[in-house]
Amino acid sequence: MRSLLTVTGRDVCFVHWPVAPDAVRSLVPDALELDTYDGSAWVSALALEVVSVGPGSVAPGPLSADPLAALGRVAGGFPQLVFRTYVRLDDEPGIYFLSVDTGSRAAATVGRRAFGLPFHGARMRRTRREDGTVTFRSCRRKRGLDPSASAATFQARYRPTGEPFEAESGSFEAFAIERFRYFLPPSTEQVLGTGRGRVTSGAGEATRVGTVERVPWTLRSVDAEVRQNTLFEAVGLPAPTTAPTVRYSPGFEMAVGSGSERDR
């Protein structure tokens, strides 16, 4: 795999909610099929700390042209909040990002310009007590890379419990956590690793497929409380009315690849 980035992180809290497929369908490009489990589409918030970000195996272009040049300004040790749903393209499962809030302005720049992902700068705070309890807070800045973005807040407290395990084939954890592709919407975006723009707009245009390489997640049960959450309203979804399914991972290391284009 031709990787653009290597990323390590820790204290990942996966918070999953079932949603009606019709509710999320309009947020996903037509070329992508919603993936469901037990008859529901799902959306998830992932609260975590990014420990380090580094270059992958693809050499960046000229510093003046390549958005990956901003990698040199991305220091580790910042909170991040991922909001995503689950899709398929040509029967391949993957992730579609609804929003990514980050405490690093440089990371937000790289995420938007190099990957075409919906990154937003946010005021974020993460603390960890000696007993393993993590408190996570995020408040999206209304101004920034996307001034039209809606404000969004998220606050949770979580502490891992139980023995470590890996997702079993066919389980909900395998459906929602063990995914190795992400899809980008038809839009104006940077061609990964080149600094050049291209336009995809509408049915029949190319969809970019990104790849992720890592070992299976180590998971644990978790005692968690979501105290505030307006991520749903910020993307136009109704607020959840059911309790979420929550899992925890102590950390990860992954290589993020440039993937390929698919014409539909």
Q: Out of 4-8, 58-62, 72-76, 87-91, which region has the weakest mean confidence (pLDDT)?
A: 58-62
Higher pLDDT, 77 or 69: 77
CA-angle at 21, arms to 261 and 142, nearest 5°? 75
**Across 134-148, average pLDDT:** 78
What pLDDT score does 199 carry? 30
Chain-wide mean pLDDT for the chain?
83
pTM assigned to the model: 0.85
Token reading at 55: 């270059």
Rounded CA separation 101/84 (Å): 12
What pLDDT score does 75 carry? 58
Of 114, 96, 93, which Cα lies nearest the Cα of 30?
96
What pLDDT score does 144 carry? 55
**Across 60-79, average pLDDT:** 52
b (16+ CB within 10 A) / e for 228-258: ebebbebbebeebeeebebbbbeebebbbbb
**Across 5-23, average pLDDT:** 95
| pLDDT > 70: percent of the chain | 77
Residue 177 predicted with pLDDT over 50: yes
Higher pLDDT, 65 or 186: 186
pLDDT confidence band for 203 (50 / 70 / 90): very low
Higher pLDDT, 205 or 34: 34
pLDDT confidence band for 69 (50 / 70 / 90): very low
What pLDDT score does 59 carry? 44
Collapsed DSSP state (helix, strand, coil) of residue 225: strand
Q: Out of 20-29, 48-57, 154-163, which region has the weakest mean confidence (pLDDT)?
A: 48-57
Q: Which CATH number fits domain 3-263: 3.10.20.30, 3.10.150.10, 2.40.400.10, 3.30.420.60?
A: 2.40.400.10
What pLDDT score does 260 carry? 60
What pLDDT score does 130 carry? 95
